[in-house]
Amino acid sequence: MRDRMERVEHSQGQAVAAWVAHLNQLRLEALVQRLREQTGNLEEALATVDAAMRKIDLEIVAKNRGATKGMHGFIAEIAEVGVGNARAQVIGEDAVHQWVNDNSPVDLLRDGVAIQQKFSAGGGWFSLRAVEQHLDKYPDYIRNGGRYQIPADHYETVRALHTMPAADAGKLVTSGDVGPSLKDWQHVQEFFATSDVSFESLEPSTFDYRDVQRGVYDRTLDAERDSLRATDHARRDDAHAASRPTLRQGVTATAVASTVEGGTAFVLGVVRKRRAGKKIADFTDEDWTEIAAESGTGFLTGAVRGASVYSLTNLTATPAAVASAMVTSGFGIAALANRLRGGEITEAEFIEGAELICFESAISALSSVVGQAVVPIPVLGAVIGTTVGTVMYQSVSSSLAQREAALIDRYRAEQRALEEQLAVEHQRLLEQLRSVTSVYLAVLERAFSPDVDVALQGSIELAVHVGVAPEHVLDTEDKTWAFFTE
């Protein structure tokens, strides 16, 4: 019964671990997929800007289309389409801008909406006169759903002047060199008072008037490329943030683990009573109270396990199977510690039991990993592997015959005897080394003494000590004289 309970506990723990690992894997796979898609988004967006640059170079500038006064208008149309599409593509949306380029009343389409661009700085009317002239030529343009697009800086000025009260306008300077003038305000007011164009029919371009001039547009599009890369970086940061473990998922893991272990404890409690010969209808209040207590313990254990495994796998570099093994070992060792404090077991039994618990948990973790690899079905493979591995281990460990146990005991005794012998030999060698070193240091000290006579005698002793042949030792005046003169 105890072995069966241990197998169930290991299986429960590894099931929780496998489920948490599966949740983590799903998050990582979603992150990888988002990053892969974002790489495609950025590449597509940059390619769109590059295509717009080539089209402006080849079809507008190289052909001098529009000449000096009109070229910037064609540049603005192509740049608006290219950049508008690129900004949609970098965030994973479809390109909706289309350059019409057929001399019709429409310059470009945006998701089916007709747009006529007017980039004109003549007369200080902020492109409004050009809008009016177009509407005179095509009076049904606005009624048919068309819109007019003017430079972003023109639009902001028109918007400010359109809503500015006359009292405030009177405070404007007479010249527009340093900002909108009173005359500019009068032009804007006159335009909306006499024209069929409403302010709502206008919209800002992506670009200011100066951004699409010849000799400037290439820098404008280069800056747009940098902006696209910044957007891409921000979206990658968002993807990483979204893939991080969350409190909500941690709570879910805790709740599921608690439910699994609590429900398992309840079922096992009922099964144990039934095997004792009682029918469920005959269960007493005491029986149900006992089962409820075991279930409550299971719920609590499961909650701790779920929270611990989720935290270990996400806040540290701990694999789920190992995390579950650590938690299971912790529960077992805590139970042993209570028995030790209660005097039920000795310290030696506590240590032996703790080692056995850790070893069994390691077997469970390894079996879970192998099982998940062999049966690549989330949770199921881990449970099968844990169950099979634990049963095999318990079968092998319980089937050791007395002969094998005696062999193990004899091996342990031989190892202990060898350790004692090596310890004695080690101590003898240490003593010998200390003695020899002491003599050597004493001779060395005399050889390098400040006293010449002592140093000379010490050098002779040092030479003899290190094994110099007697006939080569300069220990007499004749030998010394002969060595230096011959």
pLDDT in tens, 206-264: 999 999 999 999 999 999 999 999 999 999 988 887 766 655 665 665 656 556 655 55
Alpha-carbon distance 357 to 2, whole Å?
13
Three-state SS for 347?
helix
Tell me, what's the pLDDT at 271? 58
Q: Are 304 and 235 spatial neighbours (Cβ–Cβ below 8 Å)? A: no
pLDDT in tens, 316-362: 555 555 555 555 555 555 666 667 777 777 767 666 666 565 555 55
First-to-final CA distance of the chain = 96
Q: What average pLDDT score do residues 127-148 get?
A: 94
Please give the distance of CA 375 from its chain centroid, rounded to a whole number.
28
Confidence grade of residue 472 (pLDDT, cut at 50, 70, 90): confident
Tell me, what's the pLDDT at 367? 44
Tell me, what's the pLDDT at 6? 46
Tell me, what's the pLDDT at 382? 38
Q: Which residue has the higher pLDDT, 150 or 255?
A: 150
pLDDT above 50 for 457: yes
Tell me, what's the pLDDT at 141? 95
Q: State which of 229-238, 403-412, 424-433 shows the largest mean pLDDT.
A: 229-238
Burial of 143: CB neighbours in 10 Å, binned 0-12, 13-18, 19+: exposed
Alpha-carbon distance 357 to 350, whole Å?
10
Model-level pTM?
0.58
Alpha-carbon distance 239 to 31, whole Å?
6
Tell me, what's the pLDDT at 369? 43
Q: Are 473 and 464 spatial neighbours (Cβ–Cβ below 8 Å)? A: yes
- What is the DSSP pairing of strand 108-110 with strand 113-117? antiparallel
- How far apart, in Å, are the Cα atoms of 175 and each of 78, 288, 345, 389? 34, 94, 99, 90
Q: What average pLDDT score do residues 95-120 get?
A: 93
**How many helices (H) does the chain have, and how many strands (E)?**
15, 5
Alpha-carbon distance 112 to 108, whole Å?
9
Tell me, what's the pLDDT at 308? 55
What the block records as the tokens of 450 is 């400040």
Among 157-161, 173-177, 478-482, the range scoring the smallest mean pLDDT is 173-177
- How far apart, in Å, are the Cα atoms of 292 and each of 5, 11, 262, 269, 305? 17, 22, 9, 9, 20
Residue written as tokens 């009922």? Answer: 270
Tell me, what's the pLDDT at 389? 41
Q: Are 115 and 109 spatial neighbours (Cβ–Cβ below 8 Å)? A: yes
User: Which bin fits 410, alpha (ψ -120 to 50), beta or left (φ > 0)?
Assistant: alpha
Tell me, what's the pLDDT at 3? 46
Please give the distance of CA 454 from its chain centroid, rounded to a whole number.
73
Three-state SS for 164?
coil
Alpha-carbon distance 103 to 397, whole Å?
90
What the block records as the tokens of 186 is 């009068």
Confidence grade of residue 102 (pLDDT, cut at 50, 70, 90): confident
Tell me, what's the pLDDT at 380? 38
Among 315-329, 421-435, 440-454, the range scoring the smallest mean pLDDT is 315-329
Give phi and psi for 206, each to the nearest 5. -70, -20
Confidence grade of residue 59 (pLDDT, cut at 50, 70, 90): very high
pLDDT above 70 for 429: yes
